[in-house]
């Protein structure tokens, strides 16, 4: 067992420590002695992009199944144990990881760790539970499909990345969920839900030594601690994705059109992500951004208009989302292309750079005001990065972004071929002019 200090903190607060237990299980903690709560996350480095074709949808399916029962607790006992003390327990699945988490009073930390460890290590994954939850997931897919503002992002990723694991929906499809057998899901669970792929992160009024003691005891009870395995290395590379110029139109009789226009961008470890973040903030990151001002404030063409970035191990996305009346979609797309072209030709002003940096700095710091967000930061960092960058260093990297760096990023990202996804009553309407 080895313990290291990742960040010394200040005045006894913000100390981040890391211990590797036998078998490669990692525990990271951040002390917040002035609060009365703790957030516990169990991160598994497996996401939907890891699924082979025969396992499509299995990652998210498991997220549901792990709450159905273990040898010591049924589904009601799992939820009641945490809710009965005023806490919350839940989970989420992403493209590259899955997280099971709880937030409780500091005095209830032992129970939270015990319940989450039980769920993650000892799920029964019974045939009965698989069939029961299959129906729940199909309902979730149906609910998701009824919201075009969600579906358009999914369709954009599918067009941007093609028929690849990273381009497929996290939930899977109706066909893939109906095809999954109990044996396939259990095989996936047993293969990937192992200590080397797992990180336990805890933030709040805790001591690192106590957390390590509780985690070791819980995993020992489950027979999941021990061995010579080392922690799995973070996923820092992969096949990547080439820019694609494509259009995907989903014809629906909706009252509002939903569109995403964008392209591939930088991976999560690319140093240029800071310059892209500032550029994104200026172009469409808030109410003072160019796109919001031009599309909504000046012309009243849409209620919602924004741009965003997303990063993965080997690639990323830059996208512009707008929801507008179907008759206005051509005008909206024309403005989007004009603003993109203007940024490429002229870059952005010093004033916009200042606002963009301020938006990034404020979003980072304000987003770390509670135990849950800090737990997520240290857990995700341990899982997907090769180091934990201190907050002060992140802020310094944002401040250090130069106009020349922003201009270079604009030239590289916004000059690429574009991909467009549109949902609305358009039949076979040709949108190809907007991605040329």
Dump pLDDT digits (tens) for 116-166. Answer: 999 999 999 999 999 999 999 999 999 999 999 999 999 999 999 998 899
* Unique residue bearing structure tokens 């994104």: 280
pLDDT at residue 12 in the model: 74
Query: Apex CA 10: angle with CA 9 and CA 12, to 5°?
Result: 85
Region of residue 402 (left: phi > 0; alpha: psi -120 to 50; beta: else): beta
- pLDDT tens-digit profile of 185-221? 999 999 999 999 999 999 999 999 999 999 999 999 9
**Residue 9 pLDDT greater than 90, yes or no:** no
Least confident of 8-12, 14-18, 50-54, 316-320: 8-12
Mean pLDDT of the chain: 95
* Catalytically active residues, by annotation: 63
**Residue 81 pLDDT greater than 70, yes or no:** yes
Mean pLDDT of 388-402: 96
Mean pLDDT of 355-377: 95
pLDDT at residue 238 in the model: 65
- pLDDT tens-digit profile of 316-348? 999 999 999 999 999 999 999 999 999 999 999
* Residue 421 pLDDT level (bands cut at 50, 70, 90): very high
Edge-to-edge strands, sheet with 316-324: 246-251, 419-424, 257-265, 316-324, 302-311
* Residue 45 pLDDT level (bands cut at 50, 70, 90): very high
Q: Kindly state the percentage of the chain with pLDDT values over 90.
A: 91
- pLDDT tens-digit profile of 233-263? 998 776 666 777 899 999 999 999 999 999 9
Nearest CA to 384 out of 96, 60, 166, 165 is that of 96
Contacts of 187 (CB under 8 A, 6+ apart): none
Tally: H helices and E strands in the chain: 15, 12
**Residue 386 pLDDT greater than 90, yes or no:** no
Q: How far apart are CA 338 and CA 51, in angstroms?
A: 39
pLDDT at residue 240 in the model: 63
CB 70 within 8 A of CB 124: yes
* Residue 265 pLDDT level (bands cut at 50, 70, 90): very high
Mean pLDDT of 287-312: 97
Q: How far apart are CA 214 and CA 224, in angstroms?
A: 14
């Amino acid at each position: 067992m080895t313990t290291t200090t990742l960040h010394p903190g200040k005045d006894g607060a913000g100390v981040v420590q890391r211990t590797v237990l036998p078998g490669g299980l990692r525990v990271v903690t951040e002390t917040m002695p002035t609060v009365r709560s703790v957030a516990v996350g169990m991160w598994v480095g497996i996401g939907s992009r890891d699924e082979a074709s025969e396992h499509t949808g299995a990652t998210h399916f498991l997220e549901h199944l792990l709450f159905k029962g273990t040898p010591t607790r049924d589904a009601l006992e799992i939820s009641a144990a945490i809710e009965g003390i005023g806490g919350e327990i839940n989970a989420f699945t992403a493209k590259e990881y899955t997280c099971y988490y709880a937030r409780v009073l500091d005095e209830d930390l032992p129970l939270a760790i015990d319940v989450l460890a039980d769920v993650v290590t000892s799920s029964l994954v019974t045939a009965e539970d698989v069939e029961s939850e299959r129906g729940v997931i199909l309902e979730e897919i149906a609910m998701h499909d009824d919201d075009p503002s969600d579906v358009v992002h999914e369709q954009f990723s599918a067009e941007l990345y093609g028929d690849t694991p990273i381009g497929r929906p996290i939930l899977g499809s109706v066909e893939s969920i109906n095809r999954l057998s109990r044996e396939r899901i259990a095989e996936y669970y047993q293969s990937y839900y192992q200590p080397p792929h797992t990180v336990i992160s805890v933030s709040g009024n805790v001591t690192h030594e106590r957390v390590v003691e509780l985690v070791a005891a819980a995993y020992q009870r489950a027979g999941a601690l021990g061995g010579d395995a080392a922690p799995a290395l973070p996923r820092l590379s992969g096949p990547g994705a080439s820019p694609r110029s494509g259009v995907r139109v989903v014809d629906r009789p909706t009252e509002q059109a939903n569109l995403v226009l964008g392209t591939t961008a930088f991976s999560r470890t690319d140093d240029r992500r800071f310059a892209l973040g500032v550029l994104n903030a200026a172009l469409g990151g808030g109410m003072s951004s160019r796109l919001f001002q031009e599309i909504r404030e000046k012309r009243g063409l849409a209620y919602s208009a924004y741009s965003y970035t997303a990063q993965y191990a080997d690639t990323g996305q830059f996208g512009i989302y707008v929801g507008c009346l179907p008759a206005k979609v051509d005008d909206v797309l024309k403005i989007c292309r004009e603003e993109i072209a203007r940024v490429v030709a002229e870059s952005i002003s010093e004033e916009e750079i200042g606002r963009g940096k301020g938006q990034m700095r404020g979003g980072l710091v304000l987003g770390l005001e509670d135990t849950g967000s800090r737990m997520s930061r240290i857990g995700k960092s341990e899982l997907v990065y090769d180091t934990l960058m201190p907050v002060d260093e992140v802020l310094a990297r944002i401040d250090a972004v130069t106009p020349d760096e922003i201009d270079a990023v604009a030239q590289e990202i916004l000059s690429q071929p574009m991909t467009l996804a549109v949902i609305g009553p358009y039949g076979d309407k040709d949108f190809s002019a907007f991605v040329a």
